Amino acid sequence: MMNSGTMDSQHIVIVGNGMVGYKFCEKLIAKEDADSFKITIFGEEPRPAYDRVQLSSYFTYAEEEDLQMAPLEWYEENGIELHTGELVVELDRENKTVTSQKGRTVSYDKLVLATGSSAFVPPINGIEKRGVFVYRTIEDLDAITEYAQVASKAAVIGGGLLGLEAAKAAMDLGLETSVIEFAPRLMPKQLDDIGAQALQTALEELDLEILLNKNTTLIGGNGTPEYLDFEDGDCLDADMVIISAGIRPRDELAKKANLEVGERGGIVVNDRMETNDPDIYAIGESALHRGMIYGLVAPGYEMADVLVENLMGGDKEFTEFDMSTKLKLVGVDVASFGDPFGETEENSKKVIIDNKAKGVYKRINVSEDGERLLGGMLVGDADDYNMLLQIAQNGFSLPPDPVDLIIGDRDEESGVGQKVYDFPDDSIICSCESVTKGDICSVIEDEGKEDIDSIKQCTKAGTGCSGCVPMLDDLLTQSMEARGKEVRKVICEHFDYTRQELFDIIKVKEIHTYDELLDEVGEGNGCEKCKPVVASLLASAFNEHVLEERDTIQDTNDRFLANIQRGGTYSVIPRVPGGEITPDKLIRIGEIAKKYGLYTKVTGGQRINMMGARVDQLPDIWEELIESGFESGHAYGKALRTVKSCVGSVWCRYGLHESVSFAIEIEERYRGLRAPHKLKGGVSGCVRECAEAQSKDFGIIATEEGWNLFVCGNGGTNPQHAKLLATDLDEETLIKYLDRFLMFYIKTAEHLNRTSTWLNKMEGGLEYLKKVVVEDSLGIGEQLEQEMQQLINVYSCEWKEVVNNPELRKRFKHFVNSDDGDPNVKFKDYRKQPVPAAAGWEEDEE
């Protein structure tokens, strides 16, 4: 909507282009009769409003634009006059004008003060030194980043939310970092003593030093910081200091114009966000509401909403606001919600789980009668946050034993059973944007939006801190289920089928090529989403060569049977079953790597990676490897990678069984097996678990009686321990179960879901999986075993076939019309090995 403003339109002037000032504009122009207003907004910072909440990510991504709330054009398109880099210094209430430091005077009909806050800087001796920073704006971050290059040890004054954020930023910049807190515990406003201790332990494990009960009296040094003195006589070396000791509302403009301000700062407003001047309002962190400054973004947005409604002639009030918050601090989940300390009701009871072994602390406060949840705090594991917040805010009844709410074992049927779909329609799902369950359901059910992106777009839910996205996902699934609609995760626009359905079609119709499948059951001409899915399915169904008639539907790693690396070269990893290798074979790897100028590194899966091969060198390298008795390691495929083993009972004085032999047997059994994602295994000869089998998709650990089988573990982004599927098995039974387990996974998982994700999504969880695999409750055990046996029977080394097939071999070259290699591939020397010289990527350090 163009907002040019007519002659008789009201002029709304906003002072402050922060998140709340921006949000006010966004909400105002969304109103139907918004064109009766002309909008002007002043911002002191040189850039339009940005997402201060995500400021720490600026260090990670360093892209200013990514943080912008809206680009400059947005203001223009919506007829909003934006003046950045202009601090408003004068407010003339009599003539209803404001004047900026550049001398620009603008008259207003309604004035909105969204001036925000500044960092509170305590009066410490030496605070003026160069190398002392606050943590507030992009400029602050830029200055910190620059100074960090000459600093080595940072001290962060303040152990609250922002202080810990700042500490993370300092650690990310490679500085040794200490946090100094005045109070006897971290995050004193959100956590109790035990919770704060749990957080502290976790942070100390990450090498963050925490100093409590410390009152800084001096920042010493010659021009720049060198050390800090504390009241108790202690001293700390630090050559950079970041102050994060709280915020102060920016009320100087209001004060100068004689608007009512609080004793300790803040522009006094009523429930309608009105100041004592009927034409002036204040919202966000500069507003003092019922004696309270709200230092979070969600209440600021709510204030913006209240004010917009009231300006449009409505009657909305801002009352108390929930200060619940969840965040990840230096990799540790922390959340507090509702009444974290149980102070709002007499005789409230606390329920606590304090699991020091796992670094998890959970506390909830329930009413005296045990009927209602008042609030609580979570440290180390905040997965239950959204659910608990909803239960507290909506006054849902609690299970007979409230501890069930925080036990958090999703495998067992805990009987809690609160489904987000059963929440009342007015329960808030996204607290950043105040989106209710009803809003979301109406978009799903009335407008037919059945994917998360559309729901986000239509409702704005999940676009703030994104903490509610898992709930959106649950809500979507549950809403579909409730209406008897199948929740189908179809592949893409070309195949209106799930992966599992396509697998069945391929098997039943015996379809062996992508084109045939597309012609039979698909639409159009395919894309990069469905091609690799079908490639994987064809491989899992028939185990035929991945390049015969299907090279161009493979992801690039599968197309060239090697992993593409920076600069466009590939890495070569031959199979080393169980990690056992003869000296002669080791020598051959060394000789081949030398001959082709390759970089070598030992992998985590007990094999050797040879990196830096040009595409045209791959067949020659493999020819030599195969002559030396190696075969493909499938490191490039969504396939079985390695089965890691310890040294086993042959050597180890503790070993119970021969883990190496068993690992080799298993690795050779499943080599080349293609699956929805990569597969890794491990075999340990005793409970000391040197093969780390419990972090694998399948892990086998020797017992006195036989072997225990663990499944569905993984490392990576979300590490998860494998779960015990069956105990004390003989080798034959174990392989039978493993056949069933792997084939069941291959047939039913979504594309690119590891076994852990697959199990997490499985209805009935581990208990169900046990029934299918161990008890054969579906009666498909034998079929699964047969299908696996067929795949095993037709295995052959795919590199051997390429090496011996001139037609396939021809495709391994960079140019179709020249035998030259890619001239852009260049190497440099790095610790006596060749690595890619920076080509197109960001410049490497010299």
Partner 1 sequence: METQQEVSKWFKAARVEDFPKNGGACVKYKDQQIAVFNFTRRGEWFACQNMCPHKKEMALARGMIGETDGEPKVACPFHKRAFSLCSGENINGDEEPVTTYPVKVENGYVYVGLS
Query: Closer to partner 1 at the Cβ: 271 or 493?
Result: 493
Q: Considering only residues 534 through 553, tell me which ones interact with partner 1, judged by CB under 8 A.
A: 551-553
Tell me how far, at minimum, the Cβ of 617 lies from partner 1, in Å.
15
Tell me how far, at minimum, the Cβ of 552 lies from partner 1, in Å.
3
| 512 touches partner 1 (CB under 8 A) | no
From residue 310 to residue 329, the character string flagging contacts with partner 1 as x (rule: CB under 8 A) and all else as - is: --------------------
Considering only the stretches 124-132, 223-231, 526-534, 705-713, report the one whose residues sit in contact with partner 1 under the rule CB under 8 A: 526-534
Considering only the stretches 233-241, 406-414, 525-533, 618-626, report the one whose residues sit in contact with partner 1 under the rule CB under 8 A: 525-533
Query: Closer to partner 1 at the Cβ: 561 or 660?
Result: 561
Query: Closer to partner 1 at the Cβ: 48 or 266?
Result: 48
Query: Closer to partner 1 at the Cβ: 525 or 793?
Result: 525
Compute how many other C-beta atoms are within 10 angstroms of the C-beta atom of residue 256: 11
C-alpha 523/C-alpha 518 separation (Å) is: 6
Tell me how far, at minimum, the Cβ of 835 lies from partner 1, in Å.
16
Considering only the stretches 170-178, 639-647, 684-692, 835-843, report the one whose residues sit in contact with partner 1 under the rule CB under 8 A: 835-843
| 531 touches partner 1 (CB under 8 A) | yes
DSSP 163-201: HHHHHHHHHHTT-EEEEE-SSSSSSTTT--HHHHHHHHH
Q: Residue 781: enclosing H or E segment and its boundaries? A: helix 781-793
Among 494, 680, 736, 747, binds partner 1 (CB under 8 A): 494
Query: Closer to partner 1 at the Cβ: 28 or 553?
Result: 553
| Overall residue count recorded for the chain in this entry | 846
From residue 813 to residue 832, the character string flagging contacts with partner 1 as x (rule: CB under 8 A) and all else as - is: -xxxxx-x-xxx--------
Q: Residue 98: enclosing H or E segment and its boundaries? A: strand 97-100
Among 1, 482, 487, 527, binds partner 1 (CB under 8 A): 527
C-alpha 328/C-alpha 545 separation (Å) is: 45
| 775 touches partner 1 (CB under 8 A) | no
How many Å separate Cα 131 from the centre of its chain?
Answer: 32
Among 556, 600, 703, 733, binds partner 1 (CB under 8 A): 556
C-alpha 81/C-alpha 670 separation (Å) is: 66
Phi and psi for 726 in degrees, rounded to 5? -155, 155
Query: Closer to partner 1 at the Cβ: 77 or 551?
Result: 551
Query: Closer to partner 1 at the Cβ: 354 or 820?
Result: 820
| 71 touches partner 1 (CB under 8 A) | no
Tell me how far, at minimum, the Cβ of 50 lies from partner 1, in Å.
17
Among 559, 614, 723, 751, binds partner 1 (CB under 8 A): 559
Torsion of CA 178, 180, 183, 184, to 10 degrees: 40
C-alpha separations of 831 from 458, 565, 566, 600, 835 in Å: 53, 19, 18, 12, 9
| 515 touches partner 1 (CB under 8 A) | yes
C-alpha 360/C-alpha 751 separation (Å) is: 32
Any residues with CB less than 8 A from the CB of 422 and at least 6 apart, and which?
none
Query: Closer to partner 1 at the Cβ: 537 or 743?
Result: 537
Among 131, 158, 284, 567, binds partner 1 (CB under 8 A): 567
Query: Closer to partner 1 at the Cβ: 800 or 814?
Result: 814
Tell me how far, at minimum, the Cβ of 63 lies from partner 1, in Å.
11
Considering only the stretches 113-121, 293-301, 681-689, 808-816, report the one whose residues sit in contact with partner 1 under the rule CB under 8 A: 808-816
At 769, the amino acid letter reads L
Tell me how far, at minimum, the Cβ of 549 lies from partner 1, in Å.
9
Report the DSSP beta bridge partners of residue 373.
366
List the one residue out of 547, 540, 564 whose CA is nearest residue 675.
540
From residue 138 to residue 177, the character string flagging contacts with partner 1 as x (rule: CB under 8 A) and all else as - is: ----------------------------------------
Query: Closer to partner 1 at the Cβ: 299 or 532?
Result: 532
Query: Closer to partner 1 at the Cβ: 81 or 822?
Result: 822
Among 524, 597, 604, 719, binds partner 1 (CB under 8 A): 524
C-alpha 230/C-alpha 243 separation (Å) is: 15
Tokens (6 digits) for 455:
């729901």
C-alpha 627/C-alpha 634 separation (Å) is: 18
Among 525, 582, 717, 793, binds partner 1 (CB under 8 A): 525
Among 22, 37, 361, 560, binds partner 1 (CB under 8 A): 560
| Degrees, nearest 5: CA angle 749-752-756 | 60
Query: Closer to partner 1 at the Cβ: 385 or 560?
Result: 560
Query: Closer to partner 1 at the Cβ: 215 or 552?
Result: 552
Instruction: With beta carbons less than 8 A apart as the criterion, state whether 127 and 216 touch.
Output: no
Phi and psi for 68 in degrees, rounded to 5? -60, 140
| 61 touches partner 1 (CB under 8 A) | no
C-alpha 443/C-alpha 436 separation (Å) is: 11
Query: Closer to partner 1 at the Cβ: 61 or 654?
Result: 61
CB-count burial class (<10 Å; 0-12, 13-18, 19+) for 363: buried
Considering only the stretches 152-160, 273-281, 561-569, 707-715, report the one whose residues sit in contact with partner 1 under the rule CB under 8 A: 561-569
C-alpha 751/C-alpha 537 separation (Å) is: 9
Tell me how far, at minimum, the Cβ of 74 lies from partner 1, in Å.
16
Report the DSSP beta bridge partners of residue 105.
99
| 257 touches partner 1 (CB under 8 A) | no
| 528 touches partner 1 (CB under 8 A) | yes
Considering only the stretches 243-251, 425-433, 560-568, 636-644, report the one whose residues sit in contact with partner 1 under the rule CB under 8 A: 560-568
C-alpha separations of 789 from 195, 512, 670, 738, 754 in Å: 53, 19, 10, 12, 22
Q: Considering only residues 357 through 396, tell me which ones interact with partner 1, judged by CB under 8 A.
A: none
CB-count burial class (<10 Å; 0-12, 13-18, 19+) for 379: buried
Tokens (6 digits) for 45:
């910072």
| 840 touches partner 1 (CB under 8 A) | yes
Task: Dihedral sign for Cα 122, 126, 132, 137, please.
Answer: positive
Tell me how far, at minimum, the Cβ of 68 lies from partner 1, in Å.
13
Tell me how far, at minimum, the Cβ of 571 lies from partner 1, in Å.
14
Among 31, 272, 512, 811, binds partner 1 (CB under 8 A): 811
Considering only the stretches 119-127, 167-175, 529-537, 657-665, report the one whose residues sit in contact with partner 1 under the rule CB under 8 A: 529-537
Instruction: With beta carbons less than 8 A apart as the criterion, state whether 434 and 392 touch.
Output: no
Torsion of CA 198, 203, 209, 210, to 10 degrees: -40
Among 532, 682, 765, 781, binds partner 1 (CB under 8 A): 532
Tell me how far, at minimum, the Cβ of 622 lies from partner 1, in Å.
18
At 309, the amino acid letter reads E
Any residues with CB less than 8 A from the CB of 118 and at least 6 apart, and which?
134, 136, 247, 248, 250
Helix axes 731-748, 659-670, angle to 10 degrees: 40
> Where do contacts with partner 1 occur on this chain (CB under 8 A)?
493-494, 515, 518, 524-532, 551-553, 555-556, 559-560, 564, 566-568, 811, 814-818, 820, 822-824, 839-841
